[in-house]
Structure 1
C-alpha cells in the first residue's frame, strides 16, 4: 500500500470537504463527516488544517478557482462572441457534469452572508478576491468590455440560481436564454 504525502492527503480533504459542504453548507457539515469521507481521524484532519473554517475556505477557494480555470481554458485563443459562447458552454458542462461545484459555490455565498452578518469578514474577503479573479478571467477574452463581462456574470448567476432551485432544462423559465442566444447570432424569427 502506498502512503499519501501530507499534500496529497490535504488535497483529498479539500475534495471531500467540497462534497460535504456542497450538501450541508458550512453550519450543517461536521468535520467528522469530512474526516470519515477521507478516511482519516479528526485529529489528523486538524494537523492538515487549523479548523473547520480553514477547511471551508480552502474548499470555497478551490471551487471558485476551478470555475476560473474552466473559463480560461475555454476561452484560450478566442475573443469576443467566440470566447463568450465557449465560456458559457464550458460552464454549463461543468455544472451539468459536476453539480457539487455549483452547490459548493452557492453554499459559499450563503456562508459569506451569514459570517458577515455575524461580523466575520474573512469569508467575504477571500470570496471577493476569488470573484474578482473570476471576473477578470472573463473580462479579458471579452475585450475588456465591462458591460459584456457584467452581463455574462449576471447570466451566470441567474443560471446558478435557476439550477440551484431545480428548474429542469425543458422548463419555460429557460426560454429567455434561448431567445437571447438566437437574437445575438441573428437567428431570431423574421
Structure 2
C-alpha cells in the first residue's frame, strides 16, 4: 500500500504500473495481484488509506506524498472508470476536512509535484 501511495502520487493512476509498485515494495509483481485483483482496486485501496490517514491525523501532518496522492486522485476522478467510486469519496473527504483545508492539501500536492524528483525506474 505504501508503495502504491508513492508510485500513484508521483506518476498518477495511468503513469504508475503494478510492476513499478511491486519493485518499490520489493515484492514480486504476482504478490500485488494476489492482494488486489486490478490496478483500479489497488488505487482505490490507496485512496481509502489516504482518507483514513487524513481524517485520523486531523490532516495537519499530511506528508508531501499524501498530498501528491490526493492531487493525483482528484485528477484520476475524471477517468470514466474511476469517476463513480472516487468523486463521492472526494466530496465526503472535502466536507469532512472543510473546503479550505482540502484546497490547502491540493495546493500542497501541486507544489510537491512541481518539485518532485522521482526516482528513475529501473
Which band: TM-score by shorter chain?
A: 0.7 to 0.9
1:80-107 alpha-carbon deviations (Å, 9 max, x no partner): xxxxxxxxxxx3x423xx1101110111
For the pair 1:159 / 2:104, whether they are aligned, the reply is yes
Tell me what 1:181 maps to. none
Q: What are the equivalent positions in structure 2 for 1:37-186 lying under 5 Å apart?
A: 37-71=24-58, 91=59, 93-95=60-62, 98-113=63-78, 115-116=79-80, 120=81, 123-131=82-90, 133-134=92-93, 137=96, 153-166=98-111
- Please state how far the C-alpha of 1:134 moved relative to its aligned partner: 3.4
1:75 — aligned with what?
Answer: none
Across the aligned residues of Structure 1 and Structure 2, the Cα RMSD in angstroms comes to 2.2
SS of aligned partner of 1:40: coil
Cα distance per residue 1:59-94 (max 9 Å; x no partner): 1111112111123xxxxxxxxxxxxxxxxxxx3x42
Structure 1, unpaired ranges of 5+ = 1-13, 72-90, 139-152, 168-190
Runs of 4+ in 1 over 6 A off after TM superposition: none
CA distance in 2, matches of 1:131, 1:101: 14
CA contact (8 A) 2:51 2:93 kept: yes
1:53 Cα deviation after fit: 1.1
SS at match of 1:166: helix
> Whose Rg is larger?
1
TM-score (norm 2): 0.77
Distance between the aligned counterparts of 2:54 and 2:6, measured in 1? 16
> TM-score normalized by structure 1?
0.52
Asked if residue 21 in structure 1 is aligned to residue 8 in structure 2, the reply is yes
Equivalences, count: 112
